[in-house]
Structure 1
């Protein structure tokens, strides 16, 4: 078990070794068990985490705020539209000052070709851990919660058939950070991962290269298909979720001709019937109900979305406990 975490940044799970991730999972399981038993976990008494949000949030904000409170500390929510960031203050100045005021900085910035660079810039100057609450490339908080959920349901993930599938949605042009994070992470735990999407919704070439390398090193598989039915067939876990065409089209327009041409990419009971009889349906939420997925699927017996969402709390607590406390 790895034990040295204090001050470690949490920007991408690619930056964490497999041993470190496994320790993070063990701490998450322990915190979840104690939460269920009503045992207090004041591991970060009087410590402050600054939570900077450039975008809206439900699960991420509340898992962090509730999590730091349950650890005995305080989460200071910062809407960046009310900060001097909105007047042009640079990441360095914000990071240096917030480091002097507290014990951790967490930030969500999903602007394309801006978010990850902003977080890396903050991490360069911060003297406390910087935690990624989602950027344009990565969503490690969601990724670790997804991994925890899968491992709770299936103890041995080797050769588990997991399909990450693009789905039609019109709510907003969503980041690629969730499927990219899952594509990199799941092969590291021996899963047979299929990434399915229609032409035009590619992930970056460097990410695909890393995903294949992760699979090769860890006994997993990583396959790309543009056939939706192929991705559902015999799958043990399906994760149908929309993401935007950012790699090929940087416009932030939500609905365009490309999107409308793929309305058929939807998670239906008919698609689920192609999968393993015990298939699990996952989604980071919020799901675009009626577009990405039928209500009968997300509310049906194969759905584990609420377990997945609950684990966002326990994994967030584990990240803060290790990086803000720790040895």
Structure 2
């Protein structure tokens, strides 16, 4: 049995296999073909952090695969009222075939997985957002932008940045990360991914200058400057992140055929300008749709490992 907590635990071949399964499922869906690989299977979805894309994609995905998804907020279950994580894990994994968790502390999902009898999927923690990276890379494959990637991440050193670092380290491409001083990536995760990169041939570069990161990049990506739970920092962050907006001038520094990605929600006029967002809206919303298909590929893959 395998869990999906970070990309750290997966080989390059396994990551590409999951994405390939997702692409095949997506292509079949467009033809009106629904293969019920998870017929009569149940996914328990624990949400300690709310979400649009995570809930809709997992719930719809299980339905399309012939299974059923249960939405469980921390207001609805005993986990939010003091029950130990290990007890909730043993109860839910005794009734469901798979569990997806979207929470704050990464240690919570690690503890849950250690007591779970079924695969556990990280739908987001403060440290990592690996399912989003499956969708991102799937999108690049569809746009033939996955060869010889030079990716630039501009913004906060957050869970998305860490997940890009893991993807680059595993797949062996160049990633340049530009963050303001004081908002850099986690030092331990940087050291870990740079160690993995020694084997894969990846290059992971950090800087405080977004122009240095974007120069010649084939993929430019960003995320909100103020993540959930940081709302009281928004005003200060807007001042500190000045100069880190991905606008037309910044995109002009990238490769002439560069693509822009955003995991959404997008705050125009902050991390991305209105004109850049709308110019690349087709790929961004295909990226959002691919959460559905990449996660179906993941769930089918995990089910086969049991």
The two structures have a TM-score, normalised by structure 1, of: 0.88
Q: Of residues 133, 150, 166 in structure 1, which corresponds to 2:155?
A: 166
- The answer on 1:270 being equivalent to 2:249 is yes
Distance 2:122 2:296 in 1: 14
Q: RMSD of the TM alignment (CA)?
A: 2.1
1:296-311 map, 5 Å: 296-301=275-280, 304-311=283-290
Aligned length: 306
Aligned to 1:230: 212
1:56 matched to 2:54? The reply is no
Q: Which residue of 1 aligns with 2:180?
A: 198
User: Secondary structure of the equivalent of 2:79?
Assistant: helix
Q: CA deviation at 1:216?
A: 2.2
1:282 aligned counterpart, secondary structure: strand
Distance 1:47 1:255 in 2: 41
Structure 2 equivalent of residue 291 of structure 1? 270
Q: TM-score, normalised by structure 2?
A: 0.93
Matching of residue 117 in structure 1 with residue 107 in structure 2: yes
Shift in Å, 1:255 = 2.7
Give unmatched runs, 5+ long, in structure 1. Answer: 1-6, 168-174
User: Which residue in 2 is equivalent to 1:321?
Assistant: 300
**Residues 217, 255 of structure 2: 8 Å contact kept:** yes
8 Å CA contact 1:91, 1:121 repeated in 2: yes
- Secondary structure (helix, strand or coil) at the match of 2:262 reads coil
Q: Does 1:151 align with 2:141?
A: yes
Q: Tell me whether 18-27 or 134-143 shows the greater mean CA deviation.
A: 18-27
1:25 aligns with 2:28: no
Contact 2:175 2:203 in 1 (8 A): yes
In the alignment, is residue 209 of structure 1 matched against residue 191 of structure 2?
Answer: yes
Partner of 2:119: 129
**Structure 1 pair 88–252 and aligned structure 2 pair: CA distance change class (3 A):** farther
The answer on whether the counterparts of 1:157 and 1:190 sit within 8 Å (CA) in structure 2 is: no
Point out the more displaced range, 219-228 or 63-72: 219-228
What is the Cα deviation at residue 104 of structure 1?
A: 0.8
Alignment counterpart, residue 93 of structure 2, candidates 78, 88, 99: 99
